[in-house]
Structure 1
Amino acid sequence: MEFILHINVKKELLRAMCTALLLFLTTVTSAEEGASVKNSQCHNYAGGHVYPGEASRVPVSDHSLHLSKAKISKLAPNWEGTAVINGEFKELKLSDYKGKYLVFFFYPLDFTFVCPTEDHRH
C-alpha cells in the first residue's frame, strides 16, 4: 500500500511540474508574440516605414510599396510649401527653421474630420 501511495505522489508531482512548465512556455511565447507585434507597430506608421532600411521588410503581398522620406534618426527631407499663417499665405521651407524644433500639423480641408479650429490649444 505504501508503495502504491509513493507512485501516485510521484505521478501527481510529475503532472504538476509538466503543467507548470507548459504554462510557463505559453506565457513566454505570448510575451514574445506581443513584443513582435508592438515592434512592428513601431516600425510602420500611417502606411509608411519610419526606420532606415525598411523597404526590405515590406511583404511581397503588399503591392502598394510606400517609402517614406522621413526617417527616425535621419535628417528631415528638404521641403518647401505654402502655409496659411494669421490668415495670410506665406511661403515656407525647412531651412527657415534651421536649429529650431519643428512640428508639422496636416489636415485635408477645413470643416472635415480634423478642423484646425479645434486644435488651437496646441
Structure 2
Amino acid sequence: MNEKLMLLPLLGQVLLTFYVGIVARLRREKSVKEGFNWRYFKTFEGEKPPRFVLQADQHLVNLFEAPVLFFAAGILAITLETVDIVMLTLAIFYVISRIWHAGITLTNNRLLWRARAFILSCWILLIMWLWLVYINF
C-alpha cells in the first residue's frame, strides 16, 4: 500500500484543529462584541468568558493532547513503511470519531455522547498503536 495515503487522515486531523481554532476565535470576538471584557484574553485572569467561548477554547486545547499520539503513530507508520489497510482504516475512523467529538462539544455538548465519542477515539488510538507495534515485530 502507498504510505502517502496516511497523509490524508493526518491532514483531516490538522484541518479539524484549524477549524476548531477558527470557531474559538470567532466565539471570543462575539463575546467581546456582546460586552465581555477583552482584557481577559490577554492574561486569562478575572471573570471567565461565557460557556460557549470556554467550550471552544477547551476543545482546542484538547486537540493538542491525545491527537499528538495519533500524529506520532501516523508518522511512524509512514517512516517505517508499515501503512496497510488496517492502519489506514483505523486512522480514518480516528479522525471521524474526533470530528464527531468536536461536533458534540461545539453544539449541544451532551456529556454522555461526548464521552462516548472521546472513549471511542481513545480505543481506536490504542488499537492503532498496538497494530503498529505488532506489524513491526
Query: What TM-score, normalized by structure 1, do the two folds share?
Result: 0.27
Q: When you count helix as a share of all residues, which structure comes out higher?
A: 2
Query: What TM-score, normalized by structure 2, do the two folds share?
Result: 0.25
Q: When you count strand as a share of all residues, which structure comes out higher?
A: 1
Q: Give the greater-gyration-radius structure (CA).
A: 1
